[in-house]
Amino acid sequence: MKLLPLAPIALFLATPAHATGGLICRTAGTNAVELALVVSHTAVPAIVSARMTDRGRDVPVVTAQSWLEDREVRIDLVDRNAQRHEARVRAVRRGNASDGSLWRNGQRRWIRCREG
């Protein structure tokens, strides 16, 4: 039975994989806000992690709530202590991208999200 030591490896390789994907959202202009999101592709899609840069500077954020559907993206990001609302995104799919609005620091800006 020389194959018996390989049994644990075979079991590990046979476990199901939970796929993830990405979403990149960016405002227009030179002082862009960019969001890099990792999205789980499970029964209910969810944002696993979020990274935000504003004018090239990292802004530590976590996802407070999100709604990801085929036709619509809704995301609320807060600081790591959930004390301050950092950004809100509302976008609707138009072809290969989702276009909408980002609210940050009391200002509304146009944003485009693409799978990435």
36-90: pLDDT as tens digits? 999 988 888 888 899 999 999 999 999 999 998 889 999 999 999 999 999 999 9
Inter-residue long-range contacts of 18-24, CB under 8 Å, 24+ positions, other chains counted: 18/42, 20/48, 21/115, 22/115, 22/116, 23/73, 23/113, 23/114, 23/115, 23/116, 24/113, 24/114, 24/115, 24/116
Q: Is residue 3 part of a domain?
A: no
Q: Which residues constitute the domain of residue 91?
A: 18-115
pLDDT at 105: 94
Predicted TM-score (pTM) of this structure: 0.79
Q: Is residue 9 part of a domain?
A: no
CATH number at residue 110: 2.40.128.120
Please tell me the total count of domains within the chain.
Answer: 1
Encoded tokens for 32:
């862009």
Given a contact cutoff of 8 angstroms between Cβ atoms, the answer to whether 45 and 68 are in contact is yes
Looking only at the bridges linking them, the beta strands covering 62-68 and 57-59 are: unpaired
Q: Is residue 75 part of a domain?
A: yes
Q: Is residue 2 part of a domain?
A: no
What residues contact 99, with CB distance under 8 A and at least 6 apart?
Answer: 91, 92, 110, 111, 112, 113
Encoded tokens for 113:
């999200």
